Amino acid sequence: MKPITLKDIALELNISVTTASKALKGYSDVSDSTRLAVLNLAKKLNYSPNSVAINLRTKQTKTIGVIIPTIVHQFFSKVIDGIIEEAEKQGYFVITLQSNEDFEFEKKQLQLLMQKRVDGILISLSNQTQQCEHLNEILQKDVPIVLFDKINKLVNCSKVYIDDQKAAYDAVTYLIEKGYRRIAHFRGSLTPQNSIDRFLGYRKALTEHGIDFDPSLVYLCDNNDDFNDGYTNAQKLLKEQPNVDAIFAITDLIAVGILKCFNENGIKIPEDIAVFGFSDWFMSSVVSPTLSSVIQPGFEMGRKATEILIDEIKNLNNKTSYSFQNVILPTSLVIRNST
């Protein structure tokens, strides 16, 4: 059976297609009796608008694209929840892709979204992304982009993120105020801005509290979200730095790897060594001991980024000017048994 069209409704009621369309949209120049007749018949026939035809007419797909580095990270699942809730509220569909922390794949995913003619794009950059010409090319085509979480400050677009340096500074300052002095940092890759900023916050907290920065206490975790990076680096630390009394980890998953290593080696937490994570995953409250962490507002980040993107899409369609926004969301600390 063929789908019911607006023309079918118009023919049955002996009115023009234009009048039927106006009635469904609630135009004031259509009489109440005609509007009611159109609405009742549309409901009876299970009529639904042809989205393809509407998109061709309005040059919109009512779709936004999202690219995240990885789907295994609980933080990004919260971000996606916020994106979908806001997009649905404003009548937009969401296409979600992941870059697998790979720059070349990120570029391919962006091309795919452009082929799908999305109205705008939300993206958290991969760990490998240093140059952003691929983003600038899209922006030059009047397709708005909003960066979130892992951003590049040189890209001229709106951004929603946290102050990673301050968040790290607050966490390490807490450890110092609790009496810990030999504090190691399990940092992320050298490229991402959030990894850099968390390292800078760690170092700033030490120096501002009169503790010399010791580069030998910094351990590189190439994959920020690899449990094994935390585990293997914790093994190295036990051999190389037995007098360390606290660790600040770039993510909770790294921190959980640390906890596992210490538990297997009979290291008491926090009596022998304290551990502080970042992002406050669900696992942080159920591991043993429970993990202190930085609360990162993933849901609100996704919701706010989507709100900004859709506003920019509407402004572009209406040919009205707008200014790019730089939104920094607040963080807080949750203190648990690991510290």
Say what the pLDDT of residue 98 is.
Answer: 95
Task: Specify the CATH number for the domain of residue 17.
Answer: 1.10.260.40
The mean pLDDT of 169-194, rounded to a whole number, is 95
336 domain-assigned: no
pTM: 0.82
Q: What is the pLDDT of residue 226?
A: 77
Q: Does the pLDDT at position 50 exceed 80?
A: no
228, 280: one domain: yes
Using CA atoms, how far residue 290 sits from 150, 280, 293, in Å, is 27, 11, 10
Q: In the chain, how many domains are there?
A: 3
The tens digit of pLDDT for each residue in 280-313 reads: 998 899 999 999 999 999 999 999 999 999 999 9
Residues 216 and 137 in one domain: no
Q: Look over the chain and give the mean of its residue pLDDT values, rounded to a whole number.
A: 92
Intra-chain end-to-end CA distance of the chain, in Å: 66
**Does residue 335 fall inside a structural domain?**
no
User: What is the extent of the structural domain holding 120?
Assistant: 59-162+298-329
In this prediction, residue 135 carries a pLDDT of: 96
- C-alpha distances in Å from residue 79, one per residue of 5, 84, 85, 156: 38, 9, 10, 22
Q: Which helix (H) or strand (E) holds 202?
A: helix 193-208
Among 43-57, 80-94, 160-174, 321-335, where is mean pLDDT lowest? 43-57
Between the CA of residue 152 and those of 131, 133, 142, 249, 326, what are the distances in Å?
Answer: 9, 11, 19, 22, 12
Whether 156 and 305 map to the same domain: the answer is yes
- Whether 234 and 313 map to the same domain: the answer is no
Residues 269, 273: Cα–Cα separation, whole Å: 5
Full DSSP string of 230-298: HHHHHHHHHHH-TT--EEEESSHHHHHHHHHHHHHTT--TTTT-EEE-SB--GGGGTSSSPPBEEE--H
pLDDT at 44: 84
For residue 268, report the phi and psi dihedrals to the nearest 5 degrees: -80, 135
Query: Is residue 290 domain-resident?
Result: yes
Q: Which residue has the higher pLDDT, 288 or 46?
A: 288
Looking at the structure, tell me whether residues 102 and 137 fall in a common domain: yes
Per-residue pLDDT band for 70 (boundaries 50, 70, 90) equals confident
- Give yes or no: residues 200 and 288 share one domain: yes
| Proportion of the chain above pLDDT 90, given as a percent | 73
**Domain contains 171:** yes
Do 302 and 158 sit in the same domain of this protein? yes
Residue 64's pLDDT band (cuts 50, 70, 90): very high
Domain presence at residue 338: no
Residue 258 forms part of a structural domain: yes
Question: Do 192 and 249 belong to one domain?
Answer: yes
Residue 4 has pLDDT above 90, yes or no: no
What does the pLDDT look like over 104-121, one tens digit per residue?
999 999 999 999 999 999
Asked whether residue 54 is domain-assigned, the answer is no
Kindly state whether residue 304 falls inside one of the protein's structural domains.
yes
Give the residue with greater pLDDT, 191 vs 100.
Answer: 100
Q: Which candidate, 295, 283, 304, places its Cα nearest to that of 83?
A: 304
The reported pLDDT for the residue numbered 51 is 53
- Is residue 223 over pLDDT 80? no
Say which CATH number the domain at 129 has: 3.40.50.2300
In this predicted structure, the answer to whether residue 247 has a pLDDT above a threshold of 60 is: yes
**Do 130 and 16 share a structural domain?**
no
Structure confidence at residue 59 as a pLDDT band (50, 70, 90): low
Pair (209, 317) in one structural domain: no
pLDDT of residue 69 exceeding 80: yes
